[in-house]
Chains A and B, each alone.
Chain A
Amino acid sequence: MPSKPISIKDFPKDEFMVKGHTACPGCGMAIAVRQALKILGKNTVLAIPAGCIAGGSTTGPFPLSGFALPTVYCSFDETAAFLAGIETALKVKGLKEKFNVVGIAGDGGTADIGLQCLSGAVERGHKIIYICYDNEAYMNTGIQRSGTTPYGAWTTTTPVGSLRMFKQEPKKDMPQIMIAHKIPYVATASPAFPSDLAGKIKRAMEIGGPAYIHIHTPCPTGWRFPPEKTIEVARLAVLSGMWILYEVENGVFKLNVKISKRKPVKEYLSIQGRFRHLTAEDLEKIQKEVDENCKRVGM
């Protein structure tokens, strides 16, 4: 049964990401996490590793905390293992049915350093919901390349120099890695499509887990665009086919947002400073790949 979008006017009024976070202005992660937590609601336990969500925005410092939910801040590399431990303890105590056990980690914490434990935890079938906010680099430590940094992007560790230029490798496809684990639910989402995002969180909660939701969260600081353009950038990623919104429930693929007339990728890339060095040839290469990806999903 596919997810059903939730209209924004039906979003709960409750806020679990409380006011006053210290994330950068226009942070895509902060917008997406706020949306997700509204749907997850009060009976949610969070595990939060290092990354923008912890280091930059919500963990305090002591005696402050940014979430109005029971929250365990965990090590960078073991989010899913902490979730497995929390879930198992709640199961032993007969409390699991009451709680959503949810991890929220960045792309570095998910696709790179935390990949082994995520793979282990979902393979063991723990009833957990794992949300990856993907800002396509190690933003909290200062815009270093990660496995999900896309081809062509400037980062501080893939600088544009005279001998070596930008990231040469393609973006690691995390949702496909999760699909290969044959878990009950995998979805992609975007803060520019909050109804779709909310519906997917809801579906993950109904299924219980293991569920994996990968949210594309533009980063004004690292992607080099003005903070008021976050949603515009996120929307252009989807409208250009650079980020495809889909879900796979028990092996059944569904394209959730079908773009009938895709915008050229140039529109998405050219409003970001991290791609400003790309030549017409580079753009053509990226456009070709995106065309192929879209064709594969019938778009």
Chain B
Amino acid sequence: METEKLTFTGNESAALGAKLARVEVVATYPITPQSTIVENLSRFIANGELKAEIINAESEHAAISICIGASLSGARTFTATASQGLVLMHEMLHWAAGARTPIVMAVTNRALCVPWSLHADFQDAISQRDTGWIQFYCENNQEVLDTIIQAYKISEDKRVLLPSMVSLEGFILTHTVERVDVPKQKDVDEFLPPYKNEFFYIDPENPLAENVVVLPDWYMEYRYQQEVAMQNAKEVIDKVSKEYFDKIGRNWGGLIEAYMMEDAEVAVVTMGTIAGTARVAVREMRKKSGKKVGLIKVRCFRPFPVEEFKKFSSLKALAVIDRSYSFGCGGPLCTEVKSAFYNTEEKPLILGVVAGLGGRDVNVGDIINVLEKTIEVSKTGKVERETIWLNLKGEQLR
């Protein structure tokens, strides 16, 4: 495998991923920390490095609508946004999924207002959980580039035909330079053939009506098809990950990555860059104290890897770290992990941890503390508090 080893920010990696995927229509609206993705794509197009049309929309709501129109008309389509822009898109995210448009969108995760914040937080993407999009969360810039290319192959698979979001945390990845191996265009072209939709097309000889009104006699069947597509996506994601490995030489796992889990007794479950920090914490704890700890990195939040989690039902305890929150309930990832084990005969105790909201740093020491607490839970057999807010100033509710 020939690759070019260079250094890029997360946003440059996202733009490169879209370029290598030979996107044909890009529509975006500027927002921090996304803007440099569209700036890079604009430059590629202006220099003739990428043959595509770019539309500077008047809002994110319009940007995603333009993408839906373009995708329904047969173009491979890309957009990127964050935070308020993503939640402004919310209405059209449902449209994109229901219309079965295989759009890929980079989300440079940023906290939502109020209070104002520019920094990393998954509340934007997690709030789109039920829109019917496939959701990937990336640990580093290399994974961003690779996942964007993979996402097109997954989304455009005719068993799937659903849009994909690829999340990279604001500033932590978007504006941080890392080494990135850039695959050769020829290898990507072989991995990802041009987009052709056999279900939607614009043909006056055989006119199609798309997105028509459906009455109660058929609506449920339409929605069930979306669920079938999501379930199919699980298999397709695994398959595409393996194909990518064969062609390009990297495998990030399918829906999850189990790290040092072979003999683990307790583990931490998380997504995105916190998984990178947790990787170091697990390694250090094992090295220093020989404690049997591991990491389960959730790469794909939708479809949710229920079956993959069930394989870990014999663990004694898990801590789930969320970089977002569902007020009045708990961490969204934690809630999902708990529900995955509900019908298993044995199940781990689960400790909810909320950390890193609004870009607050989560370091190796923090994860070691969480794992120590999890070991304690595994020994006492008791979870005293369902959710801990990590490093919170002041007292916490009991």
Contacts and interface: CB of A to CB of B under 8 A. Distances in A.
Given A43-B204, A70-B207, A93-B75, A83 B69 contact: yes
A69 B58 contact: no
B314 to A, nearest CB: 48
B1 interface: no
Given A60-B212, A70-B203, A88 B75 contact: yes
B211 A85 contact: no
Interface in A10-56: 42-45, 47, 54-55
A74 interface: yes
Contacts, number: 150
A55 B58 contact: no
B44 to A, nearest CB: 15
Given A45-B202, A82-B69, A93 B74 contact: yes
A116 interface: yes
A60 B62 contact: no
Given A69-B207, A85-B25, A89-B75, A78 B212 contact: no
B211 A72 contact: yes
Contact of A88 (B70, B91, B212, B218): B70
A272 interface: no
Given A43-B204, A89-B24, A67 B69 contact: no
Interface string A160-191: 00000000000000000000000000000000
Contact of B73 (A67, A73, A90, A116): A90
Nearest to A62: B214
A85 B209 contact: no
A159 to B, nearest CB: 30
Interface residues of A, number: 45
Most chain-B Cβ atoms within 10 A of its Cβ — which of A68, A88, A90?
A88
Contacts of B211: 72-74
Contact of B95 (A75, A92, A123): A75
B28 interface: no
Contacts of B72: 72, 85-86, 89
A233 B209 CA distance: 33
A99 interface: yes
Contacts of A78: 61-62, 65, 92
Interface in B62-101: 62-63, 65-75, 77, 91-92, 95
Interface string B207-240: 1111111110010000000000000000000000
A119 interface: yes
Closest 3 CB pairs of A and B: A85-B69, A120-B58, A89-B73
Given A62-B214, A67-B209, 10 more contacts: A67-B207, A74-B68, A75-B95, A84-B55, A86-B69, A89-B70, A92-B53, A99-B202, A116-B58, A117-B58
